[in-house]
């Protein structure tokens, strides 16, 4: 296994991790921003107000993107397993 192969695998793994975590993290960011604007406008400074909607939105997005996420993970894993003989060389 050469240095190039290891770097390529690491790059693909990081790219996949960012791609999979992106929708959930972007949802948390947007919901948090909307709640913060709402709190600033209404002057409600309740700390727990941000957590419940953010968690519910993240769970919803996670459930909606789960099939796509599993397809991506399965494709990456299949690629790794199929190419094991090439990595050993």
In this predicted model, what pLDDT tens digit does every residue of 37-81 receive, in sequence order?
998 898 888 878 889 999 999 999 999 999 999 999 999 999 999
- The C-alpha atoms of residue 84 and residue 66 are separated, in whole angstroms, by 27
Domain boundaries, position 46: 3-88
What is the tally of structural domains in the chain?
1
- The C-alpha atoms of residue 61 and residue 41 are separated, in whole angstroms, by 27
At 15-33, the pLDDT tens digits run 999 999 999 999 999 999 9
- The C-alpha atoms of residue 28 and residue 62 are separated, in whole angstroms, by 11
Q: Which of 50, 68, 67 is nearest to 58 (CA)?
A: 50
Q: Is the pLDDT of residue 8 over 90?
A: yes
- The C-alpha atoms of residue 24 and residue 55 are separated, in whole angstroms, by 10
């Amino acid at each position: 296994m050469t240095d190039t192969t290891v770097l390529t695998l690491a790059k693909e793994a990081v790219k996949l991790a960012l791609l999979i975590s992106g929708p959930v993290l972007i949802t948390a960011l947007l919901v948090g921003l909307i709640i913060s604007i709402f709190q600033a406008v209404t002057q409600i400074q309740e700390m727990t107000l941000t957590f419940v909607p953010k968690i519910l939105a993240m769970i919803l997005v996670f459930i909606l993107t789960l099939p796509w996420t599993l397809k991506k993970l399965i494709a990456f894993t299949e690629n790794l397993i199929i190419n094991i003989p090439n990595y050993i060389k």
